Structure 1
Amino acid sequence: MTETHFSGVYPAMTTPFTPEGDIDFEQLQTDARRLVDAGVDGLVPVGSTGESATLTHDEHVEVVEAVIEAVDDVPVIAGSGSNSTREALELSKRSADAGADGLLLISPYYNKPEPAGMEEHYRTIADAVDVPQIVYNVPSRTGRNIDVDTVVSLASHENIAGYKAASGDLNRVSEVVERTRDEAFDVLSGDDGLTLPVLSVGGTGTISVVANIEPERTCALVGAALSGDFERARAIHHELGPLTRQLFVETNPIPVKEAMQMRGHGSARMRPPLSRLSEEHRDRLRELLSELEGRELEQEAER
């Protein structure tokens, strides 16, 4: 496998649904092209933000195929994890066969494996599927942190190319960066509010929810930080801060799909058991989106 470098902004894409509850492939492909036109570095369909837990395996692969078909100039990293190693392996093989450029593998949820089981899970998939893979640590969803020692050990595998950090623990992220500096291994932020801090300790990019709504600003933030312009990066970080926080007032992707509907990017429909954003949070979300749009217009008028 050729060495792959994950750097920049990778939106964690939503999965749009029709009124009948089926996947809206036309809107999905429109979203993919919109994000690429905005300058993102890759796309991540069928992850947590893509409501993968409510998709069938066939739908899962169909979404990956549709996104690949829609774009041809950025990598597509397919979410293909599961709490069953056998199931994750099947999804990973099918996603790779569909043409995915990489895989994002959430750690086994609910089962809460011990470190030995966690490492065996990832190595089983990496041994069998020859595409770059990103280990995804999000204990708020899985109930278990991946030990830093496990991540460092996995980083030596030629097919394990990165780590998505969504534990909210910057010390943990920093230690992973420190201990994998000699490997071809990238650390990506999985918490939008911590993207700038993660970049400051050596992270290479972000798999982002807010990038679905503000791809240009997210790209500007990450680009500034990676080039060493932390004054500009900080300014954009704080500009996006209120929206970032509002996008997580309820379970992701409920708020971001509402925001996308407000911006004219499809419907806010969810698949049960997730529901629409509650009325009490909609006005504030609409207000924040309007404020950011107003700033864009002001900046354009000044040019």
Structure 2
Amino acid sequence: MTALDLSGVFPAMCTPFDEDEEIDFETLQTDAQRLEAAGVDGLVPVGSTGESATLTHDEHIQVVEAVIDAVGDVPVIAGSGSNNTREALELSERSAEAGADGLLLISPYYNKPEQRGLIEHYRTIADAVDLPQIVYNVPSRTGQNIEADTAVELASHENIAGFKAASGDLGQIGEIAERTTDEEFAVLSGDDALTLPTISVGGTGTISVSANVEPERTCAMVGAALDGDYERAREIHHELGPLFRELFVETNPIPVKEAMEIRGYGPARMRSPLSRLSEEYRDDLETVLEDLERESAAVPDAEAN
């Protein structure tokens, strides 16, 4: 397995759609290049933020290929999870063939496997696909928590390189980081509001929604925290706090796609059953984005990474 540095900022990319709800590959590739130029450490297409649940398998792989073709040296970590182990394995194998540098695998949703089933699921894929793989724990979407003992056991597999933590349980996140210090295993925040706290307990970075909108600031915050400059990191965290909150007033990626459209980065169109952001939230989102732009204009070099 080729080593993959899982420290820093990895935007969970949106998938743009045109007026016919077909994938807008030109906008997708332009966006990938924008994020790479902003200094992110990797890109994560076709995860939850990329609306993978509404893409066909062929579309899924086409998005991965398009992002890989668009960027230079930045690694591409493909979302390839499913609640069906065979399906997740197929997506993982096809993503590897497409040239992905790593895989992000959400835990099986809806069918709520026991912890032993989660271990078997992840090991099956890790045994078959020789790429660095990130276990993704987001109980709010899957209905089942990946317990600390399970994460630690999975960390011993040579192809399981990291854990995306979106449980909201900082105690559990810190325990996983603590108990895997002797492994080559990264703990990444999957919740923008907890990125800084996650790093403080041993995390290595973030797979981020807000980095789609504010990549430079997110990189500056994470970079400062990893360098031990928590005063600077906390200052940027507080600057970004209103954005963190606005991006989750409705189901992700509804608000971030609206923010992308406001900024001119891509359309806010969703595939059903997701819908556009409610009008009641749009004004507040616009205000937060305007405030961030105003702060950047006032101190143009403050967010340099």
Does the pair score TM above 0.5?
A: yes
TM superposition shift of 1:234: 0.1
Q: Provide the rounded CA distance (Å) in 1 between the counterparts of 2:248 and 2:91.
A: 28
- Same amino acid, percent of matched pairs: 75
CA distance in 2, matches of 1:192, 1:25: 27
**Structure 1: stretches of 5+ with no match in the other structure:** none
- SS of equivalent to 1:23: coil
2:111 alignment partner in structure 1: 111
**Shift in Å at residue 301 of structure 1?**
8.7
Matches of 1:176 and 1:40, distance apart in 2: 25
Which residue does 1:79 correspond to in 2?
79
CA distance in 2: counterparts of 1:28 and 1:65, whole angstroms: 11
1:40 aligns with 2:40: yes
Cα distance in structure 1, aligned partners of 2:35 and 2:5: 20
Match of 1:225 in 2: 225
The equivalent residue for 2:165 is: 165
Q: How far is 1:3 from its partner? A: 2.9
Asked if 1 retains the 8 angstrom alpha-carbon contact of 2:82 and 2:88, the reply is yes
AA paired with 2:6? F
Quote the residue 1:130 is aligned against. Answer: 130
Residue in structure 1 matched with residue 25 of structure 2 by the alignment: 25
Provide the residue aligned with 1:286 in structure 2: 286
Which secondary structure state, in structure 2, belongs to the residue aligned with residue 267 of structure 1?
A: coil
**Counterpart Cα distance in 2 of 1:300 and 1:244:** 22
Task: Classify the secondary structure of the residue corresponding to 1:300.
Answer: coil
Match of 1:65 in 2: 65
Partner residue, 1:5:
5
Write the deviation string for residues 201-222 of structure 1: whole angstroms up to 9, x where unpaired: 1100000000000000000000
- Scaled by the length of structure 1, what TM-score is found? 0.99
- Equivalent residues of 1:32, 1:67 under 8 A apart: yes
Tell whether 2:265 aligns with 1:265.
yes
CA contact (8 A) 1:81 1:104 kept: yes
> Is the 8 Å Cα contact of residues 8 and 222 (structure 1) preserved in structure 2?
yes
Aligned partners of 1:13 and 1:46 also within 8 Å:
yes
1:208 counterpart = 2:208: yes
Letter in 2 for 1:80: S
Write the letter of the residue equivalent to 1:97. Answer: E
Q: Is the 8 A contact 1:3 1:184 kept in 2?
A: no
The 4+ residue runs of structure 1 with deviation greater than 3 A are none
The answer to whether the Cα contact below 8 Å between 2:4 and 2:101 also exists between their aligned partners in 1 is no
Take 1:177 and 1:154, find their aligned partners in 2: how far apart are those partners?
13
Secondary structure of the 1:164 match is strand
Q: CA RMSD in A?
A: 1.1
Determine the C-alpha separation between the residues in 2 that align with 1:203 and 1:56.
33
Contact 1:83 1:111 in 2 (8 A): yes
Find the aligned partners of 1:245 and 1:219 in 2 and give their Cα distance.
18
Contact map agreement 2:103 2:132 (CA 8 A) in 1 = yes
- Tell me the matched-pair count: 303
Aligned equivalents of 2:84 and 2:26: distance in 1?
31
Runs of 5+ consecutive residues of structure 2 not aligned to the other structure? none
C-alpha displacement at 1:147, in angstroms?
Answer: 1.2
Pairs within 5 Å for 1:85-104: 85-104=85-104
Write out per-residue CA displacement over residues 122-176 of structure 1, whole angstroms, 9 at most, x where no aligned residue: 0000000000000000000000001111110000000000000000000000000
Give the structure 2 partner of residue 147 of structure 1: 147
CA deviation map 1:7-41 (0-9, x unaligned): 00000000000000100000000000000000000
Please give the alpha-carbon distance, in whole angstroms, between the structure 2 residues aligned to 1:55 and 1:4.
Answer: 27
With normalisation by structure 2, the TM-score equals 0.98
